[in-house]
Amino acid sequence: MNMNILVCIKQGPGEQVMGQFEELALEQGLALKDALLASGLKSDKEPPILDVITAGPDSDLADDMIRRAYGMGADKGIIVRTKTNGLMPAFNTASLLAGAAKSRYDLILTGIMSQDLMAGQTGPMLAELLSIPWAAGVVKVDLLPGKPALRVEQEMDKGGRQVLDISLPALLTIQSGGVPRYPTLSNMLKAGDKPITLLEEAGLCPVPRRETFIAMETPVKTRDGLEIKGNLKDQVDKFYKFLRGKNFI
Amino acid sequence: MNPILVIAEILGNRIGPVTLELVSAARMIRDSYPGGSSDKGGDTRENNSRILIVVPHRRPVPLADQLAADTGLDTIALSLPDTRACRNEVVKEALVALMKKTAPSHVLAAHTALGREIAPGLAVRLGAASIAGVIGIRSCSPDGGAPVFTRPVMDNTRVQAVEPDPNLPAVLTLVPGAFPRFSGKAVSGGRVLEETAAIDLRKLRTVQKKHLKPVGSSQALKSARVVVAAGRGIGEKENLGAVSQFAGAFPSSALAASRPLVDMGWIGYERQVGVTGASVSPDLYIACGISGSSQHLAGIKDAKYVVSINKNPDAPICRHSDLCITADVMAFIREFQLKSGEGE
């Protein structure tokens, strides 16, 4: 069975090159690609490919992230350049990704959510726009040999799991499963010269926003958060005082 | 006026308690608009008709009867077909058809496995605005009017206020525990309206195979007086030994872990604390190198005291700790053991 895989990725916070769940999604895609290659392909069949795509404003960090994906084993990288800064609502991102992905892929993977927006909506919306089925919160993916479908385990509330077969093309949002591989030296050396496809937002028919992000504020505390300051020794002494006072030691 | 639709959360054959939280939120949204069909806010027949509950289930009538009686709200018993397809897919398709008939202004679902999976797709099909993981509702002006919704962002370090386009319907998922459960006495019982889901079964593309029950949480963890939990801040799997010894300094203690450690295979699921995993209520919870995701915090809210040790002073866990120690956790533990060893 052949499979073209697309992984939707986004940068992580601060200096983190790739978001935590995005990296897990990429790892899942690469593991599937490895499994397909290992299962052996007839010479007249095309090998499986894994591309990555991201949408966001102009940034060196986006390039760094695509190169890291190349280092891990991705084939082609696509950046959809948007004009806006700050967070973009999921429907807008999904619409751009749908325009870029069209229907070229058998499997699309995203993280269960991104660390900045924390909504988990982009994947399901992208699937709906492409009219493909999806499963969210996936923890395990297995090929079903001979069938255009995958068997996935999805996490349910309270930690139970649901096993379901989903027909391809499909989209999965990845919760966990596998430890992301390090980029290999040889891949990283090639990554420097590999082109990255750049698409402009305007060419993908951007849609108006359905939600306005008004403000961002510090969350409300549920406890006092009294800071224990000082050097390590002082901190331990104060902690000890607290423990003694409440009879924990 | 367009109704506010509440999607009941059904667990097996029971109504999930989060449904009553959705009802409270629906009432808050309803009451934030002045005027409408009645200038009196609160419970009246007219005002209650503004909210509709939907129970999607194979045999929904008894559940719908119960909800209508308890809440005084009209409830749609939406019968789902018998099919091998995954329940989420069936519920989503059934709701799309129903929403086109009822034209709601707002659709409320719980931010659970079901809600997270179907709400975004539902919004796309309805051409609606979509806001996931809502933790608060506020009116944006003193005279009332279209409410604004708050939700966590940026690794749970910030809260964002979102306004849906007032000209579109809005699909919202609400975090369980963020809103109070409706517990008032109903003005009078709501009506139950029976509907059969209008779905083309041939369009469904999933097949449900089986359910796997979760492995239980460690009993020792649930009954410990002091819980010491390890997070990614401990650095390496090998450091778990030192954290475990640290736990051993306290009588009646247990070692626990945040989800990422279990996912990485460093420790077993029976030690996981969080919304999946154990909810613990020890006298003292010591979070070692845990940043404080909302999923983890949900598991420790009933702890008597929470102490967090984290090298990041902005880690979200500090706002949910009684004491916040900014330090490298392994260095802190070593220093603590030195002091314990000295016998003070």
Q: What is the pLDDT of residues A111-129, one digit of tens each?
A: 999 999 999 999 999 999 9
Tell me how long chain B is: 344
Burial class (CB in 10 A: 0-12, 13-18, 19+), B229: buried
Q: pLDDT tens digit string along A211-227?
A: 999 989 999 899 999 99
Contact A160 B211 (CB under 8 A): yes
Percent of chain A with pLDDT over 90: 80
Rounded CA-CA distance B268/B271 in Å is 6
> Is residue A211 within 8 Å of residue B130, measured between CB atoms?
yes
Q: pLDDT tens digit string along B220-233?
A: 999 999 999 999 99
Q: Closest CB to B276: pick one of A159, A163, A215.
A: A159
**B93 has a chain A CB within 8 A of its CB:** no
Chain A residue with Cα closest to B217: A159
Q: What is the dihedral of CA B150, B154, B158, B163, to 10 degrees?
A: -30
Q: Is the pLDDT of residue B144 over 70?
A: no
Q: pLDDT tens digit string along B293-325?
A: 989 999 999 999 999 999 999 899 999 999 999
**Other Cβ atoms within 10 Å of A167 Cβ, number:** 16
Q: pLDDT tens digit string along A44-77?
A: 578 899 999 999 998 899 999 999 999 999 999 9
Q: pLDDT tens digit string along B273-297?
A: 998 899 999 999 999 999 999 899 9
Mutate one of B93, B96, B117 to test the A interface: name it (highest A CB count within 10 A): B117
Q: Is the pLDDT of residue A236 over 70?
A: yes
Residues of B with Cβ-Cβ distance to A219 under 8 angstroms? 152, 156-159, 316, 319
Contact B207 A248 (CB under 8 A): no
Q: Which candidate, B135, B152, B156, places its Cα nearest to that of B314?
A: B156
Mutate one of B116, B226, B258, B279 to test the A interface: name it (highest A CB count within 10 A): B116
CA distances from B186 to A5, B36, B163 (A): 53, 21, 31
> Is residue A143 within 8 Å of residue A150, measured between CB atoms?
yes
Contact A159 B283 (CB under 8 A): no
Chain B residue with Cα closest to A236: B336
Q: Is the pLDDT of residue A103 over 90?
A: no
Q: Which candidate, A222, A123, A157, A120, places its Cα nearest to that of B133?
A: A120
Residues of A with Cβ-Cβ distance to B119 under 8 angstroms? 121, 124
Rounded CA-CA distance A231/A74 in Å is 46
Nearest 5°: phi and psi at A206?
Answer: -65, 150
> Is residue B318 within 8 Å of residue B306, measured between CB atoms?
no
Residues of A with Cβ-Cβ distance to B152 under 8 angstroms? 118, 219
Strands (E), chain A: 4-8, 49-57, 76-82, 107-111, 134-143, 149-155, 161-167, 170-174, 197-200, 211-217, 226-228
SS3 B91: helix
Q: Closest CB to B325: pick one of A128, A166, A239.
A: A239
CA B126 to chain centre: 23
For residue A224, give both structure tokens. 């006092």
Contact A213 B162 (CB under 8 A): yes
Rounded CA-CA distance A82/A65 in Å is 16
Rounded CA-CA distance A140/A152 in Å is 6
Over residues A92-99, the mean pLDDT reads 96
Q: What is the pLDDT of residue B221?
A: 93
**B325 has a chain A CB within 8 A of its CB:** yes
Q: What is the pLDDT of residue B146?
A: 81
Q: Is the pLDDT of residue B176 over 50?
A: yes
Q: pLDDT tens digit string along A7-19?
A: 999 999 888 999 9
In the stretch 213-252 of chain B, residues with CB closer than 8 A to chain A read 213-215, 226, 249-250
Contact A235 B319 (CB under 8 A): no
Q: Is the pLDDT of residue B40 over 60?
A: no
**Half-sphere exposure (Cβ direction) of B194: Cα atoms closer than 13 Å:** 7
Nearest 5°: phi and psi at B245?
Answer: -65, -40
Q: What is the pLDDT of residue A43?
A: 55
Strands (E), B72-191: 74-79, 106-110, 129-134, 136-139, 147-153, 158-164, 170-174
Q: Look up the ipTM and state it.
A: 0.94
In this structure, are strands A161-167 and A211-217 parallel, antiparallel, or unpaired?
Answer: unpaired
CA B174 to chain centre: 6
**In what helix (H) or strand (E) does residue B211 lie, and over which residues does it extend?**
strand B206-212
